[in-house]
Structure 1
Amino acid sequence: MNQTIGDFLFFGSVLSLVSYEMGVQLKKRFKLAIFNPLLISILIVMAFLSVFKINYTVYNESAKYISYLLTPATVCLAVPLYRQLNLLKKHSKAIIAGTLTGVLTTMCTVLLLALVFGLNHQEYVTFLPKSITTAIAMGISEEMKGFVTITVASIIVTGILGSIIAESVCRIFKITDPVAVGIAIGSASHAVGTTKAMEIGEIEGAMSSLAIATSGLCTVVFASIFANFI
């Protein structure tokens, strides 16, 4: 049976989409941050592949078609940004400062933890682009000779954690301004976090979308500098 499933051309894509929809329904039902649709879909896919003993390569070969949509989906985040263009112009200085702060905080944190845990250069540069969108981060990791697959995994974990704890962190530190909330979420947890920002509000979603692009560009610049520290 597992061989028949693996031979189905779009089995990976169907499994991924169905798993994600199950996650969405769980989130709607229980309304808890821990029921993040992406996290739920990952767990379901892992369980399915383990139970039916389907090789990951077989799954990935039939699920790769979804990956083709990653870039256009990221571009579509420009829509809410366009709707809040006036707000962008009004708060341009604060947005630039917030994005730079977010990127530098990420870089410094990775550097500190790399020193604490004794990571070598290749392992260190693997985690430098963990807080930006996958489309940009993979290129940075590959250019710096990092482990691209681990980079992707760290990006997913960062995004999921950001999506889960974003509201709680903002509540604890009394961050209520929608521009600040959006920039913080987008610069820390890229597109996955942006979906959460869009749930919070349109302004938050627009600012988070902006932070994805600006954080990516800033990371390209700063990663090459920080890579020399280890």
Structure 2
Amino acid sequence: MPVAAYMSSTTQPIKIDIWSDIACPWCYIGKRKFEAGSGLFAGAGEGRGVEIEYHSFELSPDTPVDFEGNEAEFLARHKGIPEAQAQEMLDRVTGIAASVGLQYDYDNLKHTNTVLAHEAIHFAKAQGKQLEMTERLLSAYFLEGRHVGQVAELAALGAEIGLDPYALTAALESHEYLGAVREDQQTAAEYGINGVPFFVIDGKYGVSGAQEAQTFAQVLEQVWEERAGQPEEVSA
């Protein structure tokens, strides 16, 4: 016969759901700042930790796979602003990225549609390598000038982190994980998420944008302290 037992929920890592796009410069910056913030949080000890899951969000779903032009031209067309203003925006974000150790290379960046990259991340998730694939694709896109809109390139990048390139190619060509991408996007719409990065912490707190590391650490600590005062009932 089941009996009631109580186990402090602080023994479990805090779940972090992150909506992001591979082509979002603030998502990579936000990733680094969150990593720093969660590191500060975990450094306080007593079992503090986080469990991260990424979710798909397309900033520009109408972007062609092979965009003819540079990033400043794309941004100018997308936002309806002069190209010089777009270049100033890119220069600013490049400087902020550098402050967290990321050397963005907009001169060689290949702007592309990211839906296949999201499908590749879901494939990696099924293999237990979602975090590795997300980092690999962000680095490939912003730092290395790799074309993350092409199946062959995505398969090669997947192979670099230990995924089967042939299985990944088959999954991308059949769009096996497109439904999972659309499900993430639907959930984002239900949450009212219209920009990324967006962090949902412990299923109840939303944090928008590339906040400072200390801000993330403070939110995580607040959730941890709230958990400590609310024991979780489980069956035994």
- TM-score range with shorter-chain normalisation? under 0.3
TM-score (norm 1): 0.25
Greater helix content: 1
Which structure is richer in relative contact order (CA contacts within 8 A, separation 6 or more)?
2
Larger radius of gyration: 2
Higher strand proportion (structure 1 or 2): 2
